[in-house]
Amino acid sequence: MVDRGGRYERDNRDNRDNRDNRERDRGGFRDGGRPQHFKKRRYQDDDDRDYRQQRPRYEDPMVRLRKDVLAIAESPLIKVEDSIRSIAKSLSAHWDHEAIRKGFVTLIKTLVVEQPFKIPFVAAIVLCANAQKHEIGKLVLDEFAAQLQNYLDNCEWRNFKLTLRFMGSVSCMLDGEGVATLLNDLANLTGDLAAEGGSSGLSEELSFVVLITIPYILTSAPGGITEEFLTTLIERLEGMQVPSAVEPLLSPYSGPNAPYPPMNNTTLLLNALKDEAASGFKFEILARPWEPFLAELEAATKHFFPTITMPTALEGGTIFPKVYFSVFQGAVHETVPLQTSISSSILRDSIGDTIGLLDFNRIACARFLIDVDCYFAPNAFLKRATPFDKIPEVSEGKSTWKPEDVCVDAIFTNIFQLPQPEHKLVYYHATLTEVCKLAPQAVAPSLGRAIRYLYRNLESMDVELRYRFIDWFAHHLSNFGYTWKWTEWIPDLELSKVHPRRSFIQEAVEKEIRLSFANRVKSTLPEQYCELVPEDKEKELPDFKFESDDIAFPEEGKQLLNLIRQKAPNEEVDTLMNAITDAANNKGLPDPSKYARDMYMTCICHIGAKSLSHVLSCIERCKEKLTQLGQESSQAQRQIVGTVMRYWADQPGIGANVIDKLLNYSILTPLSVIEWVVLDAGGEVLPRGHAWEMVNTTTRKVVLRTRNLASARGEDLPEEQIATAEQQHEVAKAEQAELFKVVMEGLGRYEDGGVVVGKEGTSGEDVELLKWWAASWLRALKRQRDIEEAEEAMRVSTGSGAGAMDEDGDEDKEGGDDENAMEEEV
C-alpha cells in the first residue's frame, strides 16, 4: 500500500467521473476540428473542462482527506484498516489547520446522515485518530452532541437515530457509561408517550431508535455500557409497546391465503434482540473495522459525553407503524435473512435509510445497494451474482444471503409500504431501474423471482398495492424494451376476466400501452395475448357513435358535431339541443334531457380526441355550457362521466384523464366521479385499473384539499381570512365525509350482495370474485378514511397545542363535535 494514495486517487476519479469523462472526451474531440472563433466561444462555455485539465501539482490536504473519507470501505480491493490508519494519520498530522478541523467534522456529520452504511467505518477513523491526538475525539464529540441535540429538538428522527448510532459506535472513547444516560432518558420519554396512548406513533418510533442502536454499541470497540444495562433497557421498552389502531389496515396482505401474517418491524426487532440477549449478543452481520486497532484504542484518552436535554415539546405529524414486507419470504433457499433474525432488522433498517436518504441521486443509491456486501461483515453474504440454483452447493454454515435479493427486497418494501412510502413511487421505480442497469446479470433473476412471488400472491394483496404493482411493472418493462417472460402466464389467460391474476395481466398490458402504443406492445407479447390488445386500441380515433344508425338521434348527433366544430353561436347549439330534448319528451323516453347532454359531451370528446391539448382547448371553449349541463339534474354529472368513459371505452386511461381535468374545471364534482364508479359503472369495473385510479385520485384530491384547509387554520392570517378558511374547512370536511360515505355504502352493497354484482348471466364464481373485489376496495378506502379521521382528531387536539392549557374547555368542545361527526358517518 505504499503507492496507495496516487493509484487510489486515479482510480477513484475515473470511477466517479466516468460519465463526465466520456462527455468531456467527446467535447474535446469535437473542439479539435473547429475553427478558432468557435473554439473561443466554446472555451467560455465549457470552461470547467479546461481548468480541470491543468491539474494542480499540489493537492489541498482537505480535498485529499475528503476523497479518502468518502471512499471508505467502498472498494473491496483496498484493505479498510489501511484506509482507516492512513486517514487517521493524515488527520492528526494536519489537525492544527482550522480548515481541516472544520472540514473533517462537517464532512463526517453529513456522511453519517447520508451514507449510513459507513457509520461503523467513520467511527473507527475517529477512534483511531483520537488515539493519536485526543483533541480530535473531543471536537468530534462536542460537535456531534450539538448536532444530536439539534435533531432531537427538531424531531428529525432518522438523522437523530444515525447520529446516535455514530455516538454508540465510538463508545470506546466515552468516559464512564457514555450514551447510557441518553438511552435511559429516551426510554423514559418513550414510556411517557406510550402512557398517553401512543397514538401519534412516536413512542414506537422512539423505541425503534433506541433498540436499533444497541447492536452498534455492542459491536463497537468495548466501552462503558454493559450488556446487563442493555438487556434491562430492552425489557423496559418491551413493556412500553402499545398497539396502533390503524395497523391492522396497513398490512400488505389479508385473507386466508396471505403468505405471512402481518408483522410489525419494531416488534420483530424487539423479539430478535431478546433472542440475541439470550444467546450472548453476537450480531455477526455487523463489521468491526476497529478490531485491528484494539490495543491502541484501549490506551486512548476518553472524553466526557456531553449532556443531551430531552425536548419539552414534540412536534411532527403521525408516524405510521412500519409493517414487514418481503418478496422472498418463505422461499426454498434463505436468500434474505429470516424476518425474525436480528440480521434482518439491521439490514432492513440500514438499507431502508440509505434508500430514504439518497433520493436526490438514485444512481448513487443504486451503487450503494449493489455494493451492500462491502459494508457489513466479510462473508455475511454470498458472492455477488451467485445463481439461485447454485445455492444448495454452498457449504454448511456459510451464508446463503444473496446481496441482490437483499437490495431488491428493500426497494420493494418501500413500494409496498402503506399508507404511503416516504418518497414518490417513481423514485423507487427509477432506483430499481438503475440497479438493473448497474448489474443486469445479477439483478434480473432476483427481480424475476420477486415478480413471480408478487404475482402468486395477488389474491391476498391489498388493492392499492395491486395497483402499485401494475404501475411499477409496466413502467419497469418500458425501460427495458418490454421484455418479460409472458409465456409462463399463458395458462392464466384462460381465467375469468375478473380473476385477480387475469386482471393483473390485462391491466399491466393496458399500462404499457399508455406509456407506449398498442402496436409496439403487441409486438412484444406472445400470440396468445393478442386478445388483450384488440384492433380498436390501434385506432387513431375512437368511433363517433352517431355515425351508426342504431342509436337515437344519429342525424342530430352529426349536426351537433359540426356546430361545435365550426364554433357556431350558442343559440344555434341550444336550439338543436332543445329540439332533441323535446323530441325525446314527445317519444315518452325517460329522462329526456339526457340525450342532448350525452350528445354534447360525446361531440367534445370526439373533437378533442387527437390529443390532450385538443380536448382541453375544446372543454375550455365549451366550459360554460358543460357546467350548465352538469347542473340540469342530480344525475347529470354522473351521466357526463359515463359519456366520457363510454367514448374512451377502448382506452379508459385517457377517459380517466379527461375526467380528472373536468374535475379540475369544477365541471364535475368529486362526488359525481365516485358515484359513477361505484354506483353506475357496475361491479365489472372493480377489477379495472382505471376505475381504481379514478377513485383514488379523486379521493386524494379531496383529502388533500381538506388537509390544506386544516393547516391554514394554524397560519398567521388576518382574522377574516381565518374565518373563511375555517368555514371552508368545515365544508370540505363535510364533503369528504359524504364522499367516503357514498363509497362505503356503494361498495358495501356489492360486498354483502344487496346489489347483484355483474350483469345478468355472470357466473356464480365471477359473482364471488366481484364481491371479493368490492371487499378489497372497501378495505383500502376505509384505510384512507380512518387515517384522515385520526389525523383530523390529532389536529384538533394538538392544533390548539400552545393554547391547550388555558383553553381546555374549548378543546373539549371541539373534540366532542368531531366525535359526533364521525358517529354520524358510521
Partner 1 sequence: MAGSGLVTFGRIAFLLTGKTRLPGTCSRQTFELTISPTLPTSITKSAAAATADMSHHQQHQSTVERLDRPSTYYDKSGKRTRDDAANKEDPLKDATTLYVGNLSFYTTEEQIHELFSKCGEIKRLVMGLDRFAKTPCGFCFVEYYTHEDALDCMKYIGGTKLDERIVRTDLDPGFKEGRQYGRGKSGGQVRDEYREDYDAGRGGYGRSLQGGKEMGSEYD
Q: Which residue has the cell 496516487?
A: 6
Q: Which three cell numbers stand for residue 100?
A: 481541516
| Residue with smaller CB distance to partner 1, 41 or 383 | 41
Cell of 349: 433498517
Q: What share of the chain is helix, strand, coil (3-state, %, to 5)?
A: 70, 0, 30
- The values of phi and psi at residue 155, to 5°, are 55, 35
Shorter beta-carbon distance to partner 1: residue 448 or 653: 653
User: Where does 654-777 show beta strands of DSSP type E?
Assistant: none
Taking the least distance from each CB to partner 1, the nearer of 1 and 426 is 426
Q: How far apart are CA 541 and CA 609, in angstroms?
A: 6
Question: Apex CA 792: angle with CA 786 and CA 793, to 5°?
Answer: 90
Reference 692, options 462, 497, 474; nearest CA is: 462
The 10 Å Cβ neighbour count of residue 71 is 19
For residues 693 and 660, what is the distance between their CA atoms, to the nearest angstrom?
10
Shortest distance (Å) from residue 511 CB to partner 1: 8
CA-based R_g, the chain, Å: 31
CB of 251 to partner 1, least distance (A): 25
Type of residue at 373 = D
- Helices then strands, counting H and E runs in the chain, come out as 35, 0
CB of 493 to partner 1, least distance (A): 25
User: Least separation, in Å, of the C-beta of 479 and partner 1?
Assistant: 5
- Residue 787 CA to residue 781 CA, distance in Å, equals 10
Helix or strand run (H / E) with residue 219: helix 202-219
Q: How far is the CB of 678 from partner 1 (least distance, A)?
A: 14
CB of 8 to partner 1, least distance (A): 18
- Shortest gap between Cβ of 611 and partner 1 (angstroms)? 5
Q: How far is the CB of 712 from partner 1 (least distance, A)?
A: 4
| DSSP 8-class letter at 264 | B
Three cell numbers at 666?
Answer: 369544477
Judged by beta carbon, residue 530 or residue 717, the one nearer partner 1 is 717
Q: Which is nearer to partner 1, 441 or 721 (CB)?
A: 721
Indicate the residue among 189 and 710 with the shorter CB distance to partner 1: 710
- Through-space distance between the first and last CA atoms of the chain, rounded to whole angstroms: 72
Phi, psi of 573 (to 5 degrees): -60, -45
How far, in whole angstroms, is CA 633 from its chain's centroid? 41
Q: Give the C-alpha separation, 327 to 252, whole Å.
A: 11
Do residues 26 and 37 lie in contact, with contact meaning Cβ atoms separated by under 8 Å? Answer: no
Minimum CB separation of residue 113 from partner 1 in Å reads 6
Identify residue 335 by its one-letter amino acid code. Answer: T
Q: Which is nearer to partner 1, 59 or 175 (CB)?
A: 59
Write the single-letter amino acid at 812: D
Minimal distance, residue 383 CB to partner 1, in Å:
27
Q: What is the dihedral of CA 466, 472, 478, 483, to 10 degrees?
A: -60
Residues 353 and 158 sit within 8 Å (Cβ to Cβ): yes
Nearer to partner 1, 528 or 635 (CB): 635
* Choice between 93 and 731, CB closer to partner 1: 731
Q: How far is the CB of 433 from partner 1 (least distance, A)?
A: 6
For the bound state, the minimum distance from the C-beta of residue 664 to partner 1, rounded and expressed in Å, comes to 6
Q: Which is nearer to partner 1, 656 or 778 (CB)?
A: 656
* Grid coordinates given for 755: 346489489
Which lies closer to partner 1 via its Cβ, residue 58 or residue 360? 360
Measured CA to CA, the distance from residue 255 to residue 514 in angstroms comes to: 32
The distance of closest approach from Cβ of residue 101 to partner 1 in the complex, given in angstroms and rounded to an integer, is 16
Say if residue 718 is preceded by a cis peptide, omega within 30 of 0: no
CB 389 within 8 A of CB 331: no
State which residue, 274 or 661, has the beta carbon closest to partner 1: 661
Residue 203: closest CA among 163, 249, 248, 157: 157
Closest to partner 1 by CB, 430 or 599? 430
Distance in angstroms (rounded) separating the CA atoms of residues 587 and 592: 9
Residue 201 or residue 215: which is nearer to partner 1 going by CB? 201
Q: Minimum CB separation from partner 1 for residue 487, in Å?
A: 22
